[in-house]
Amino acid sequence: MWYSSRQEEKVLSAFCDVRILEHFSNASQRPDEKGESPRRSGQMGAKMHFVDAKGILSSGNGMNIYRGCTHGCIYCDSRSKCYQFTHDFEDIEVKRNAPELLERALRSKRKKCMIGTGAMCDPYMQCEEQLKLTGKCLELIDHYGFGLAIQTKSDRILRDLELLKSINRKAKCVVQMTLTTYDEEVCRIVEPNVCTTKRRYEVLEILKENGIPTIVWLSPLLPWINDTRENIEGILRYCIQAKVYGILCFGIGLTLREGNREYFYEALERHFPGLRKKYHNQYGYAYEIASGRQKELMEILRRTCKEYGIVCGTKELFDYMHAFPEEKGYEQLSLF
């Protein structure tokens, strides 16, 4: 199941059997749509490793078209050592045959289902602008009448808005957007190479206007950085205005382990003087870093969700994302 266990999905993806080819290519040097150059956004020098993958869909119908990520979130768990990257996490592994593999997999399926993507890396990194592999995979999902549950932090998803609408019309499309930090300046520090929370909220609004259901991942929340009432309330206001279907939150905190802990601590040292020591004293080498404000903030979240009819039960939300609307599948069959 692609989202029933995030860790399970990550392990599956990390062990996906790929054959690395010798081809390396410099990532785009072009400015992005906001005129932000790769150097400014910290992506200069990132490389792409093109590989031929042997398979694309996990047993739970999840897929990762890329491995590694250039968004640079300081807390990113995907960069942990256990995923066995043999190169820098920012040097993206591109499964260049992903569309061919996906087409083969979709054609061989007896039953339509939801296809998930975005669990291990963002499907709308800067390289997608040139490669368009996510876009091509979405075209196939649309063509074969499957559903889609896609997770991102990037407004580049709007480039595929017409495809998302078509998938939603024929089957079902759920967009999951991660929001962690209401303060725009702090957001630029913790998630440096992707659009900020305000822009992500605008994307949620656009999706709402186009009838596409959305779910917000309110995770992770970093002790002494964004585990505040103001932060939670600001993000909840966005969620209410954008009429999101649900909010996924597993608690107020984050996880740290070998690989991502060092990266996170170095970022703390650079941007939040004194915090590294505070984390070290409080949590040592713990895996689960729970905020001391967990109870208070979770209570605000639950109360607000109840008041505005936003689903926040984890199981309910995963069930929703996995549920393919059978009646639409029959409608499609009757057309042929």
Catalog residues that contact ligand SF4 under the rule CB under 6 A. Answer: 69, 71-73, 76, 78, 121-122, 153
CB of 68 to ligand SF4, least distance (A): 8
Considering beta carbons, is residue 76 or 106 the nearer one to ligand SF4? 76
Report the sign of the C-alpha dihedral through residues 67, 73, 76, 79, in that order: positive
CB of 210 to ligand SF4, least distance (A): 23
Considering beta carbons, is residue 223 or 329 the nearer one to ligand SF4? 223
CB of 67 to ligand SF4, least distance (A): 10
Considering beta carbons, is residue 73 or 179 the nearer one to ligand SF4? 73
DSSP result, 167-231: HHHHS-EEEEEE----SHHHHHHHSTTS--HHHHHHHHHHHHHTT--EEEE-----TTTT-SHHH
Considering beta carbons, is residue 103 or 122 the nearer one to ligand SF4? 122
The residue with tokens 């649309």 is: 142
Considering beta carbons, is residue 12 or 105 the nearer one to ligand SF4? 12
Could you tell me if 1 and 321 are in contact, meaning their C-beta atoms sit under 8 angstroms apart?
A: no
- Number of other residues whose CB lies within 10 A of the CB of residue 319: 11
CB of 7 to ligand SF4, least distance (A): 14
* E-strand stretches of the chain: 18-26, 47-53, 62-63, 66-67, 92-95, 114-117, 147-152, 173-178, 214-217, 246-248, 253-255, 288-290
The phi, psi pair for 324, rounded to 5°, reads: -85, 135
CB of 115 to ligand SF4, least distance (A): 19
Closest CA to 148 of 120, 182, 122, 171: 171
Closest CA to 70 of 27, 14, 31, 29: 27
CB of 89 to ligand SF4, least distance (A): 8
Considering beta carbons, is residue 58 or 168 the nearer one to ligand SF4? 58
CB of 93 to ligand SF4, least distance (A): 13
Considering beta carbons, is residue 79 or 172 the nearer one to ligand SF4? 79
> For residue 31, is the peptide bond before it cis, meaning its omega torsion is within 30 degrees of 0?
no
CB of 334 to ligand SF4, least distance (A): 40
Rounded Cα gap, residues 294 and 118, in angstroms? 27
Rounded Cα gap, residues 307 and 51, in angstroms? 48
- Number of other residues whose CB lies within 10 A of the CB of residue 65: 26
Considering beta carbons, is residue 264 or 320 the nearer one to ligand SF4? 264
